[in-house]
A and B are shown apart, each in its own frame.
Chain A
Amino acid sequence: MAGANTSLDAEKIRQDFPVVTSSINGKPMVYLDSANTSQKPVAVIDAMTAFMREGYAPINRSAYSLAAEATEKYEGARTKVAKFINAKSSREIVFTKNATEALNLIAYSWGRTNLKRGDVVVLTHMEHHANIVPWQMLQQEIGIELRWVPLTSDFQLDLSSLSNLLAGAKVFSFTSMSNVLGTINPVEKLCAAAHAVGALAIVDACQSVPHAPTDVQAWGADFTMFSSHKMCGPSGVGVLWGREALLEAMPPFLGGGNMISEVRLDGFKCAELPAKFEAGTPPITEVIGLGAAVDYLNGIGMANVRRHEVEMSSYVLENLTARFGDEITIHGPRNPELRGATFSFAFRGIHPHDLSQILDQTNVCVRAGHHCAKPLMKIIGANATARASFYLYNTKADADALANALDSASDIF
């Protein structure tokens, strides 16, 4: 029994992350901003450094062996990412600049080809700006209609009117986990609901891929996207996954080198997938870093990561509530099984900006603000919140440090 059910050893994992174990002015770092961006393990830093020191070369365009090996490493990372989310084929994996670019790619390329005035795109009140603004741009440009799935009082999606909202819809695009509330959405159920009306199911998986096992085929999704930098990889690279037939039928997004098979003065012919969507020199080193991050996470096991975060959630919720009672308001589900370890909160009426400034005195790093989800903030009645988010390298000691730092904040105000 023991062993199979124990989650990961966060104390040991911490040692892999230089920033997590660092200190400023003799005070240890308490990094609680991983929903924003995660820290990087030595394995990723070393893989990128080694490639730049010993293996750096262009990909897909030169015959010498250094370039061939670079291409192999780059494409090897694609294969790793495909397996990591159980894509059918690595041709379905497109590397973008970030998840935001991936959403823009879909809205631009699929949206402009397939949507016309009056067509309905359904979003939810939980979305962050990356899954709102590209659709609003289409709304301005071609006059599509946007509909919104609201929230229940316990911070879930209110699915009671979902079939009405989806009636006649062409697209249902939603987050797998709220970056503000921590709520984990029933992705398979939502994809099935979209398909029942013939709509496309797009899953913004930025907050869930780093934290739990992902199986895009089991989800039944059409497109998904996520960022390397939130899953122990470097910034500068994101992933778009799409069903091959859909990607095949879409026109290219950016034009240039690498995405063509032929260019003449009177026109061009697109390259095969996935190169068709990867114009220009890609972030080669970063993609290789992402591959190393996937290896690192596989070595730990995503089910173990998820289990650890459920344990962290229980601890954080119990402790903050026991210690501060009504003085803290946590905007999100109370059940650790229904949420990720991301906590937005209000504390003793202290403005989140002031709160994070004071927490910074003891190196407790939390985000303050609107978390790129202004419509959601308005709906939960907060202009801004402080947000503490935990990952595989965070321990109960980090949660205690947060609580202690919070307690000291009211001394000033």
Chain B
Amino acid sequence: MPGVEDLYREIILDHYRTPRNRGELPPPAVCTEGNNPLCGDDIRIFLDIADGVVRDVKFSGQGCSISQSSTSMMTVAIKGKPVEEVRALVRRFKHMMTLSDDEGAVDESIKLGDIEALGGVVKFPVRIKCATLGWNTLLEGLNSSQG
């Protein structure tokens, strides 16, 4: 059995205790809600996108340390980035979570930085859904804001 130290890395607990970009954005920012039907966690992502760039992002909702910290790190990584770069990052992250994605090829050269700490989650397959909740919700938001 893998030890929990592989899961609860210090940077993860830091984002859990002090989440970044927590809050909400008023319309016309796009709000998307994601649920983890397994555990009842829910998360809302607010996206302010203009000229193909994520100008601002915030998140709210409730969840475990993994879903909250993963979403917090994600918001830091995507704020100010062009949407296409964000999509490539999502693909890269889901690839690390061993989830295949048929939306495009994974660019392995993309640096994940702090997000790399979530790699240990793969050893706890039940928690992969927690780690990807915010990212899947982000994807939905990107799709609906471009729809």
Contacts and interface: CB of A to CB of B under 8 A. Distances in A.
Contacts of A193: none
B65 A351 contact: yes
A24 B41 CA distance: 29
Interface in B46-86: 62-66
Nearest to A353: B64
Interface string B14-47: 0010000000000000000000001111100000
Given A353-B39, A384-B40, A358 B127 contact: no
B104 interface: no
A73 interface: no
B40 A383 contact: yes
B105 interface: no
A374 B4 contact: no
Contact of A25 (B1, B16, B64): B1
Interface string A356-373: 011011000000111000
Given A377-B40, A384-B39, A412 B1 contact: no
Interface residues of A, number: 19
A24 B1 contact: yes
Contacts of B38: 369
A369 B1 contact: no
* Chain A contact residues, majority secondary structure: mixed
Interface in A340-392: 351-354, 357-358, 360-361, 368-370, 374, 377, 383-384
Given A351-B64, A351-B65, A357 B124 contact: yes
A413 B130 CA distance: 17
Contacts of A377: 40
Contacts of B7: 357
A352 B127 CA distance: 12
B40 A361 contact: no
Interface string B101-126: 00000000000000000000000100
B96 interface: no
A368 B39 CA distance: 7
A383 B42 contact: yes
A164 to B, nearest CB: 31
A357 B62 CA distance: 18
A168 B136 CA distance: 46
A383 to B, nearest CB: 5
Given A354-B65, A370-B39, 6 more contacts: A353-B39, A353-B66, A357-B124, A361-B3, A370-B40, A413-B65
23 contacts: A24-B1, A351-B63, A351-B65, A352-B39, A352-B64, A353-B41, A353-B66, A354-B8, A354-B65, A360-B1, A361-B1, A361-B3, A368-B39, A369-B38, A370-B39, A370-B40, A374-B40, A377-B40, A383-B42, A383-B62, A384-B41, A413-B13, A413-B65
